[in-house]
Amino acid sequence: MDEVFKALADPSRRRLLDSLNVRSGQSLRELCTGLDMARQSVSKHLSLLEAANLVATVWRGREKLHYLNAEPINAIAQRWISQYDRDRVHALADLKTALESEPMSKPEFVYTTYINTTPERLWQALTDPAFTARYWGTTFDTDWKVGSSMTWNEHGIISADPDQVILESEPCRRLSYTWHTFTPEWYAGAKEWVSADFLDRAVKERRSKVTFDIEPAGPLVKLTVVHDGFEPDSVVLETVSQGWPHLLSSLKSLLETGEPLPDPEPVGARQGG
């Protein structure tokens, strides 16, 4: 965590994070606009923020986009804040978010974490029911081949649909699939933690997809999760963005310690689906 605190100590880097907090997914050119810094300085600061994992990057063609990454702050909260008055801290954080947050500028979720494991073990954790059931409460019935269908079993709620398919599958490197269908059966099992209004809006949205990129990083493995394909002002995006950080932290904990994190509120663990 030393790199995180060092990165946050510089006011110029905090300004860059503030800019990404207002509008995530910016290119270097966009970040330079309006900031009294040379392009080379901005690039150097971004490199330090990326090294501290406070910024995650995704390539779109030849353009490198920068996203504010919540993983290090989430890790700090798990290490220190969570042992105190958790409910009060979460309530205040939720209030601050509600008062200050702006609509997401890019309809996608990006999150990067580093895990002390191997690519093979991480792939197993993403695909093997014995793993996914422990940190996600979800299992997938599929052969993990491109084009194959997926049946989701989420806390006993079965979701089956021809459009739930594997999009990319490179073992130990990359996995991508479409998100599940918000069916009446799914809602019947989930109505304790989602509203009828959520369901009404979610079923009208186009189907999103999630992609897991796995990269060796010395003794660690870098996992980047991109959940995209959303419409602007997506209620599904809003919900999964709240759930992914805890789920991925629980995955990391399971691989590194043998135990997942305690399950919080169901909506956070299940990501609105």
Q: For 91-129, how does the pLDDT look when each residue is reduced to its tens digit (9 = 90+)?
A: 444 444 443 444 445 779 999 999 999 999 999 999 999
Statement to judge: residues 166 and 262 lie in one domain: yes
Structure tokens, 38:
């040379």
Statement to judge: residues 118 and 200 lie in one domain: yes
Q: Which of 120, 169, 130 is nearest to 146 (CA)?
A: 169
Indicate the residue among 38, 68, 98 that finishes a domain.
68
CATH number for position 211: 3.30.530.20
Statement to judge: residues 124 and 246 lie in one domain: yes
Give me the residue label for tokens 């995704």: 58
Statement to judge: residues 56 and 190 lie in one domain: no
Model pLDDT, residue 72 = 82
Is residue 94 domain-resident?
no
CA distances (Å), 74 to each of 15, 183, 184, in order?
20, 32, 34
Model pLDDT, residue 82 = 55
Indicate the residue among 17, 45, 68 that finishes a domain.
68
Is residue 50 domain-resident?
yes
What range defines the domain where residue 48 resides? 2-68
Rounded distance between C-alpha atoms, residue 190 and residue 203, angstroms: 14
pLDDT digits (tens, 9 = 90+) for 84-98: 555 444 544 444 444
Phi, psi of 204, deg, nearest 5: -90, -10
Indicate the residue among 43, 68, 93 that finishes a domain.
68
Rounded distance between C-alpha atoms, residue 11 and residue 58, angstroms: 25
pTM, whole model, 2 decimals?
0.77
Statement to judge: residues 136 and 8 lie in one domain: no
Which stretches of the chain are assigned E, i.e. beta strand?
55-60, 63-68, 109-115, 138-141, 149-154, 157-170, 174-178, 209-217, 220-228
Is residue 216 domain-resident?
yes
Give me the residue label for tokens 């779109």: 60
Model pLDDT, residue 140 = 98
Q: Are β-strands 63-68 and 55-60 bridged in parallel, bridged antiparallel, or unpaired?
A: antiparallel
Statement to judge: residues 238 and 129 lie in one domain: yes
pLDDT in tens, the chain (273 residues): 788 888 889 999 998 988 888 888 999 999 998 677 889 999 999 999 989 999 999 888 889 999 988 788 777 766 666 555 554 445 444 444 443 444 445 779 999 999 999 999 999 999 999 999 999 999 999 999 999 999 999 988 899 999 999 999 999 999 999 999 998 888 888 887 788 899 999 999 999 999 999 999 999 999 999 999 999 999 999 999 989 999 999 999 999 999 999 876 544 334 555
List, in sequence order, every residue forming a beta bridge with 140; answer none if it has no partner. 152
Model pLDDT, residue 188 = 86
Q: Are β-strands 149-154 and 138-141 bridged in parallel, bridged antiparallel, or unpaired?
A: antiparallel
Rounded distance between C-alpha atoms, residue 174 and residue 223, angstroms: 10
Q: What is the DSSP letter of 62?
A: T
CA distances (Å), 43 to each of 14, 29, 37, 40, 99, in order?
14, 10, 10, 5, 31
Task: Provide the domain count of the chain.
Answer: 2
Half-sphere exposure in the Cβ direction for 93 (13 Å, CA): 12
Q: Which of 266, 168, 154 is nearest to 210 (CA)?
A: 168
CATH number for position 7: 1.10.10.10
Statement to judge: residues 40 and 158 lie in one domain: no
